[in-house]
Structure formats: C-alpha cells, structure tokens
Amino acid sequence: MRSGLSKEQIVRRAARELQNGFYVNLGIGIPTLVANEIPAGMDIVLQSENGLLGIGPFPFEGDEDPDLINAGKQTITTLPGSVFFSSADSFAMIRGGHVDLTILGAMEVDRHGNLANWMIPGKMVKGMGGAMDLVAGAKRVIVTMQHCAKDGTPKLLDQCTLPLTGQRVVHRVISDYAVVDIDPERGFVLRETAPGFTQAEVQEITGAPLHVEGAVGVMAVD
C-alpha cells in the first residue's frame, strides 16, 4: 500500500487532542514532538515523570543544567509556575488519575484496548520505565504509532501477541492511516482516515474489524 502520513503529520494530528487546561504527559519519541505543536493561545502543562510539572523548551547552547532533564534524559528548561517533586509524588499524580492525557507509542494495540510497547521475547528487554503506570493511571490514553510493521503486517490486532504494558487501557490510536477509537463493547471504531485513503483500504491493513458509526472524517494534518 502507498504510504500514509509522515511522522510530522501524525504529530500534528495528535496535537489536536490537546485541550485548554490539560495536564499532559508525553512519551519518549514521536509523542515528545507534540509539545512543538501546541496551538497558540492554548494553556497546557506538561508533566515529566522524573519530577516536574511545567516542562519548558530545550535550553540554548551553554544554558544546559545537568540537574534539569526530562524523562528521556534530555536537557530542558522550566517555565513560570514550574514545580519539582519526587518520583513518588510524580507517580501518585499519574496513578491517582490527575493527569488528563498521556500520549505514547506502541508496538501493538488490540481491539480490547490492550497495549504492548515494552518487550519482545528473545530480545534484550530494557524496561518499561513509567509506561505501565501512565497507561494504568492517566484519564485518557492515546497511542501514536505506525499502522503496520515494516513487513506490512498489522499492528492493530484482534489480540496482542507481545507481552502487555497495560490491559484495556487505550482510548484512541492515531496512526499514519487512521484515527481509531477503542470501544469497550465493539472494539475498534474508525473515526478518521488519512487524506486519500478509503475505509476499505484501512480495514485491509487492520487485524480486527473496524466498526463505523456516523460519518468517517478525514485526518486534519496541517
């Protein structure tokens, strides 16, 4: 199949999930880039699970502070109103349902909302970091991912094949081909397709039935 959205376009679509006043935790990789696309005039506070509310932009060269990093260990800055706390406090916020939204990547998502993104049997396992806590605790969990693996096999499945990161935790998937919600009863619900792709084409690369209710939209990517 011809290629879908670029990473940058997935990021821009994901940024449309932000709402004014949200406290948001962004995972490492593509989700981190969503921070660059926060709509002008919208107030969002970014949480870093290593103990910071209010992540600022990357520092200018020479202004890096080794005592100030994000969860990806990158140097960052603070903003007016930023606050520091311990890892226990940080995960109390996360587990306690105080974080409005988390966006993170995935290797597999299934129609039950199960998520696999931390280990492949037989390969060196680096660890789950804070991902299991985030998906168990955030009010809303959105996954940004490639719809298919490099060999073309679907990553949105009837049942995850990899060990799970969380059970029944994903609310929405934003991929290079579609926006798909997970409904606890019906499974995958197709909300949007990438520009130029049909519902049937997206179904073809998805490992479980895509339900439709009402009109299917076109992903806004600019």
Partner 1 sequence: MAFDKTIADADAALEAAGIRDGMTILMGGFGLCGIPENLIAALKRRGTKDLTVVSNNAGVADFGIGVLLVTRQVRKMISSYVGENAVFEKQLLSGELEVELTPQGTLAEKLRAGGAGIPAFYTPTGVGTPIAEGKETRVFDSRPYLLERAIRGDVAFIKAHRGDRSGNLVYRRTARNFNPMMATAADFVIAEVEELVAVGALDAESVVTPSIYIDRILQGGGYEKRIEQRTNRPKSS
Question: Is-catalytic flag, 17?
Answer: no
CB 171 within 8 A of CB 182: yes
CB 155 within 8 A of CB 111: no
Find the binding residues for partner 1 in span 173-212 (CB under 8 A). Answer: none
163 binds partner 1 (CB under 8 A): yes
Strand partners, 140: 101
Q: What is the largest CA-CA distance in the chain?
A: 53
Q: Which is nearer to partner 1, 59 or 105 (CB)?
A: 59
Q: Which residues contact 78 (CB under 8 A, 6 or more apart)?
A: 52, 54, 55, 56, 68
d(CA 111, CA 168): 9
Find the binding residues for partner 1 in span 30-69 (CB under 8 A). Answer: 48-52, 57-61, 64-69
Please tell me whether residue 40 adopts helix, strand or coil conformation.
coil
Please tell me whether residue 117 adopts helix, strand or coil conformation.
coil
Q: Which residue in 4, 27, 137, 187 binds partner 1 (CB under 8 A)?
A: 137
119 binds partner 1 (CB under 8 A): yes
Find the binding residues for partner 1 in span 71-90 (CB under 8 A). Answer: 72-76, 78, 84-88, 90
What mask, x for binding partner 1 by CB under 8 A, covers residues 87 to 106? xx-xxx-xx-----------
Report, as residue numbers or ranges, the catalytic residues. Answer: 49
Q: Which residues bind partner 1 (CB under 8 A)?
A: 48-52, 57-61, 64-69, 72-76, 78, 84-88, 90-92, 94-95, 114, 119, 124-133, 136-137, 163-168
